[in-house]
Amino acid sequence: MQRPQQALILRRDDHKRDAIGAVFLGAISDEAQIRAAVARYLGPVVQVRSIQVEQAALRVEVECSRFPIESQNLARLGKSLAGRGRMRGAADTFAEALKLDPLNAEALKGRAGLHALAGEMTEAEDCWVRAGEIRGYDGEILRGLASVALSEDRRPTAIQYLEEALLVNPNDSESRAILDDLRRQIELRFRDGTAPPNRGSSPKE
């Protein structure tokens, strides 16, 4: 078992509708209250060691009991099961992986994908955000968050996520294709005079 400390980055734009967002708005400013809000968000198995409040993010040092090797093995098994269409088995395996290591980003990404396939977009979004906070926002996470935004007709938000994915990896052909198609759709709507109103310009708005 390992208990190394790890830094999580909680971005303001991903927490506009919860208590973490209240920290950035200044509604929560007392250090103890900030710690309590972060602790509630992360859950009882993760211990908060320190919090640094920045303009666009909280840098949170945490630790918890972890069995990373065993957890990663289960995450790989879960992905294999999902790839073979065994969704119930995959879900159970990802859950076990997260019991062994609550900071297993791959298990969270796998669980997010299952939620998305089931149409549970709020749950998928939460898992993708947590995975990004743990290990950084890669193309897979950002494309997933873009898909959530599109399911809620928040096209500007989806575009922002896809643009971020291309900043992370300019060679991300999948994000490029989705973004180009989305921009073409918007352009056609404007030409036809049927463009929808702007429903948000930043993540999780």
In a domain, residue 34? The reply is yes
Q: Is residue 31 part of a domain?
A: yes
Query: Residue 28 belongs to what domain range?
Result: 6-63
Measured CA distances, 83 to 41, 108, 186 (Å): 31, 16, 33
Question: What value does the mean pLDDT of the chain take?
Answer: 91
Residue 126 lies in a domain: no
Q: Is residue 1 part of a domain?
A: no
Dist CA 204 CA 8 (whole Å): 18
Residue 129 lies in a domain: no
The predicted structure's pLDDT at residue 106: 97
- Any idea what the Cα angle at residue 72 is, between residues 66 and 75, rounded to 5°? 120
- More confident site: 55 or 116: 116
Give the model's confidence band at 185: pLDDT under 50 very low, under 70 low, under 90 confident, else very high. confident
Residue 199 pLDDT: 44
Rounded distance between C-alpha atoms, residue 143 and residue 150, angstroms: 10
Q: For residue 40, is it within any domain?
A: yes
Q: Quick one: tokens of 55?
A: 């303009």
Q: For residues 133 and 61, is the Cβ–Cβ distance under 8 A?
A: no
What residues contact 137, with CB distance under 8 A and at least 6 apart? 164, 168
The pLDDT value given to residue 200: 46
Count of the separate structural domains present in the chain: 3
Which pLDDT belongs to residue 195?
A: 54
Contact predicate 165/122, CB 8 Å: no
Does residue 162 share a domain with residue 100?
Answer: no
Residue 16 lies in a domain: yes
